């Protein structure tokens, strides 16, 4: 039998309960590649004419702007922002346009960037709490993947190690 639980404060769980779990995993905020996939799922759901069936009207430069703006946002915050874009689109239609139907919802980059200015991600608003959760997860198995997407930053070594006398 398996039991799956989600908690944010591991230190609040009694030891008697905690010792019964064989594996404990930590899932951090999504990296840029995961954020791209989260956006694509929500955009395909709410804007199928633009993003459905693998559609992608935006190039990588535009996507990088969006991903950079949403860095630190949770999947739920991303989903809510996309949903609000759709709501604003339909609220902007006239009564005749709404009644006539046939108008497919469309989203712009500017609208997504505007929606990002309308909330403070929990990772910023409660940064101490999020860092506390990360600190508690130091010895716990990481469940997230390494970002191997085209949006992943490359690691750069500032100084190359050279032992003395081998110059």
**φ/ψ (deg, to 5) at 157:** -95, 125
**Rounded CA separation 52/42 (Å):** 10
Structure tokens at 65: 């702007």
- Which one of 1.10.10, 1.10.3470, 3.90.70, 1.10.8 gives the CATH number of domain 30-124? 1.10.8
**Rounded CA separation 152/138 (Å):** 23
The distance in angstroms from the start CA to the end CA of the chain is 61
Using left for φ > 0, alpha for ψ between -120 and 50, and beta otherwise, residue 165 falls in: left
Domain boundaries of the chain, sorted by first residue = 30-124
Among 22, 19, 38, 20, residue whose Cα is nearest residue 30: 38
Residue written as tokens 């490359």?
A: 154
Q: For helices 60-69 and 109-116, give the axis angle rounded to 10 degrees.
A: 10
Instruction: Return the pLDDT at 155.
Output: 66
Q: Show pLDDT as tens, one digit a residue, over the chain (167 residues).
A: 777 878 877 778 888 888 887 777 888 899 999 999 999 999 999 999 999 888 899 999 999 999 999 999 999 999 999 999 999 999 998 888 888 777 888 999 999 999 999 999 999 999 998 888 888 777 777 777 888 898 887 666 666 666 665 55
Helix (H, G, I), strand (E, B) or coil at 95: helix
**φ/ψ (deg, to 5) at 141:** -65, 130
**Rounded CA separation 24/51 (Å):** 36
- Cβ burial of 106 (10 Å; 0-12, 13-18, 19+) is middle
């Amino acid at each position: 039998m398996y039991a799956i639980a989600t908690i944010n404060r591991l230190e609040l769980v009694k030891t008697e309960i905690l010792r019964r779990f064989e594996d404990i995993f930590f899932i951090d905020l999504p990296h840029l590649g995961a954020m791209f996939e989260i956006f694509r799922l929500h955009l395909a759901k709410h804007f199928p004419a633009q993003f459905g069936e693998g559609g992608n009207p935006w190039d990588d430069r535009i996507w990088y702007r969006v991903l950079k703006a949403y860095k630190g946002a949770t999947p739920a915050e991303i989903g809510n922002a996309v949903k609000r874009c759709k709501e604003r689109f339909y609220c902007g239609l006239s009564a005749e346009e709404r009644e006539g139907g046939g108008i497919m919802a469309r989203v712009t980059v500017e609208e997504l960037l505007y929606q990002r200015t309308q909330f403070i991600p929990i990772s910023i608003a409660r940064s101490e709490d999020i860092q506390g959760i990360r600190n508690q997860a130091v010895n716990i198995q990481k469940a997230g993947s390494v970002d191997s997407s085209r949006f992943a930053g490359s690691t750069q070594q500032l100084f190359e190690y050279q032992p003395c006398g081998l110059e």
